[in-house]
Amino acid sequence: MFDGLKDKLGKFTSDVEEDAEVEDAEDVEADVEEDAPESESEAEAAESDAESEADGSTTAGDATAESAEEPEQSESQSDADADDDANDGRGIGERAKLFATGKAVIDEDDLQDHLDELELALLQSDVEMGVAEEILDGVEANLVGETRRRLQSTGNLVRDALREALYDVISVGQFDFDERVAEADKPLVIIFTGINGVGKTTTIAKLSEYLEARDFSTVMANGDTYRAGANEQLREHADNLGRKLITHEQGSDPAAVIYDAVEYANANDVDVVLGDTAGRLHTSDDLMAQLEKIDRVIDPDMTVFVDEAVAGQDAVKRAREFNDAASIDGAILTKADADSQGGAAISIAHVTGKPILFLGTGQGYDDLTRFDPEDVVDRLLTEE
């Protein structure tokens, strides 16, 4: 999962490390070259002074002239040091101390080309533009001007900077789903929405299995009264899992179906109602009106947006549009096991301000995994 993006992030890390190591070696060589002529000059001057003293040829006037020149040279050297301080942000003395302790500084100019390459890599992995920029800003803020162990832990620092920047954008709005279910008044009502064909109905069956495994009883409700065959599709899942399904005839009021499911749950002490709705675009006025009616009549505890991880930028765009139209509480991404890029998983929480709750990772009813931002970031950045 996310192998394509993992490779791109790994390349960024190794490239920054390699360049930093080369620059360190060049800095050392430059320091040696700068010091060598100065040492040679000092040696020659000392030798000349010794010869002059032996010959007794140094006059008081010469000594006075040399004494007068020394303050100017000292002042000139101070100016040069000040220029170095201004240009580097650190004085020669401080940089020398850092080098002596095996440390160096990552400069903004050194990093910029790599940040440009990282931006392109993120966009190619279907990360939304604004999210990519947020990641780049985070990486730059975490790296520029920071000292790091020269040659030894550069890669660790770069990975840490990436880790923090990625976590910040994908952990938006996260909450403990199991805890919320446990603490909610029963029955808890969850409504599922999204476009057709993304695995919404199968996701409902998977979440029913997930909840039942944690001792929360469930009832399914088919509020998709618009599509022919919708009852049969959800019925097959309910029969396979041994769950109760509430349905009405095709063309019935979706709000009435889900209302009946809530009544059934109240009468039978069922913990969670899982309500399917018709697949729709946010521009489908009549279907969006159905959602608004469900909100008014049922007042669901959660509205969950479902889409395919492999849809990439399209999934991100739809998540934003559905959230604007119906105010979702979270998202579930299906087919995450087939998503080599990971752009949707990284972007959706940031653009909607609502968390990704689960990833669908296979065809089985058990193939539903809690979305853990730390686990996802670790998977993207851990070396194999």
Same domain, 198 and 255: yes
pLDDT for residue 37 is more than 90:
no
Domain assignment of residue 127, yes or no: yes
When mean pLDDT is compared across 227-231, 279-283, 312-316, the lowest value belongs to 279-283
Same domain, 261 and 339: yes
Q: What is the mean pLDDT of residues 159-185?
A: 90
Domain assignment of residue 239, yes or no: yes
Q: Which residue has the tokens 């996310």?
A: 2
Please list, in sequence order, all residues whose beta carbon lies within 8 angstroms of the beta carbon of residue 224, skipping any fewer than 6 positions away.
201, 230, 234, 254, 276, 277, 278, 279
pLDDT, tens digit, 9 for 90 and up, residues 232-257: 999 999 999 999 999 998 888 999 99
Domain containing 19 equals 3-170
The Cα 30–Cα 96 span in angstroms is 13
Same domain, 154 and 17: yes
Residue pair 181/159 in contact by the 8 Å Cβ criterion: no
pLDDT band (50, 70, 90) for residue 227: confident
Same domain, 213 and 362: yes
CATH number of residue 8's parent domain: 1.20.120.140
Domain assignment of residue 128, yes or no: yes
pLDDT for residue 21 is more than 60:
no
From 170, 198, 214, give the residue that closes a domain.
Answer: 170
pLDDT band (50, 70, 90) for residue 48: low
Sheet holding 188-193, edge to edge: 244-246, 218-223, 272-277, 188-193, 302-308, 330-334, 356-360, 368-370
pLDDT for residue 154 is more than 90:
no
Sign of the torsion formed by the C-alpha atoms of 259, 175, 333 and 327: positive
Q: What is the mean pLDDT of residues 14-39?
A: 53
Domain assignment of residue 321, yes or no: yes
Mean pLDDT (the chain) is 78
From 170, 204, 223, give the residue that closes a domain.
Answer: 170
Model's pTM, two decimal places? 0.74
Going by the DSSP 8-state scheme, the letter that residue 215 receives in this structure is: T
From 139, 170, 201, give the residue that closes a domain.
Answer: 170
Number of domains the chain contains: 2
The Cα 213–Cα 2 span in angstroms is 28
pLDDT for residue 353 is more than 70:
yes
The Cα 264–Cα 258 span in angstroms is 10
Strand ranges for 141-232 from DSSP E: 147-149, 188-193, 218-223
CATH number of residue 284's parent domain: 3.40.50.300
Same domain, 165 and 188: no
Provide the 3-class DSSP secondary structure of residue 126: coil
Same domain, 224 and 355: yes
Same domain, 136 and 183: no
Of residues 95 and 109, more confidently modeled: 109
